[in-house]
Amino acid sequence: MTDLKTPYLIYLGNTQIQGLAKTGLGLVYWRPERCLGQLREEGCVADLGIPDMGIAEAVIAGARTLVLGTAFIGGLMPSEWTGRIVEALESGLDVASGLHIPLRSFPNIAKVARTTGGVLHDVRLMKGPFPVANGLPRSGQRLLALGTDCAVGKKYAALAIHREMIAQGMDATFRATGQTGVLIDGQGICVDAIVSDFVAGAVEQLTPAAEVDHWDVIEGQGALIHPAYAGVSLGLLHGAQPTAFVVCHEDGREELSAFPGHKTASIAEIIDLTVLLSRRVAPGIRCVGICLNTSQLNEAEARERLTDLSVEYGVPACDPVRFGVSGIVRNLQ
């Protein structure tokens, strides 16, 4: 399981598009207390709105990990990145990356890390060993964010629900299951990178037995109807043994993202499948909310749509980004 040392210096290279710095933006939004500063190359357009720092300065200020907070375009890592990563290692930092290319696959980076003892966190590489799931009942409350597709806001919903639980005085832990979530929270597992036999077991380990009123808020992955990723979603569902779940959906999306010709699920379909497939390991599971991305609607339309959904499904419906998730969380206490 990944576990990053804090605080972070966030690396942005010379990113020309703010959206490419998604990981860095997520870090600063969700875990500002972990973010000491940003390191930007000359001409970088992306900006996280936190202090600019060089590596030496960040180390003096207490930084422990350089986190790659942006992506690059094309297949090759820019040479200034590898230079900065080596410099960070030589300055005593660990380095964390959610990129597809593992840091350790660069011979010079791997070599310097061996010398300095700095840890290379390639959060997409899950080494294990992980246990096989046992499926035994365990104490504590667990909420899983499911979706009608990939990229419909499951991570955002889980982070928002966790933050709201804390704000409402509840005892809760966010559990990351994907690379961006792991980098944001500094902990977690990347379930889609785990050997299939151990997915459910790894999630059991990630979300262990807890106090009866403690909530693990678990980031979902994929969708139970997805032609490529449904197996990941089901292993995650079984390992999580949720007591509650929310369904995330993007209003107006009709085709699965990047899978033309495949329809998204309906919210009802995901609710029914989740309850059915949980029957044995989480028989008490219930849907406790719907999280809708309403960015295609104006505010009045959005409120109307959420009210309609709430009536239709008998649970609070919200747009986490636009209106927050307090209705869902209030209902859990």
By CB under 8 A, name the binding residues for a second copy: 132-136, 191-197, 199-201, 225, 227-236, 238, 259, 261-263, 273, 276-277, 280-281
Q: Nearest approach, Cβ of 46 to a second copy (angstroms)? A: 28
Minimal distance, residue 18 CB to a second copy, in Å: 28
Cβ proximity to a second copy, 191 vs 291, nearer residue = 191
CB 132, CB 194: distance < 8 Å: no
Q: CA–CA distance from 81 to each of 16, 100, 141, 267 (Å)? A: 15, 15, 42, 42
Which of 122, 192 has the CB closer to a second copy?
192
264 secondary structure, DSSP code? P
- What whole-number distance in Å separates Cα of residue 24 and Cα of residue 10? 7
Provide, rounded to whole angstroms, the least separation between the CB of residue 191 and a second copy: 7
CB of 202 to a second copy, least distance (A): 10
Query: Would you say 76 or 279 has its CB closer to a second copy?
Result: 279
Triad 64, 65, 66: Cα angle to 5°: 135
According to DSSP, residue 215 is labeled E
- Angle, helices 107-116 vs 79-90, to 10°: value is 10
CA distance 90 to 327: 48
* Closer by beta carbon to a second copy, 62 or else 131: 131
**Between 89 and 240, CB nearer to a second copy:** 240
Q: How far apart are CA 187 and CA 193, in angstroms?
A: 15
> Least distance to a second copy from the beta carbon of 255, Å?
12
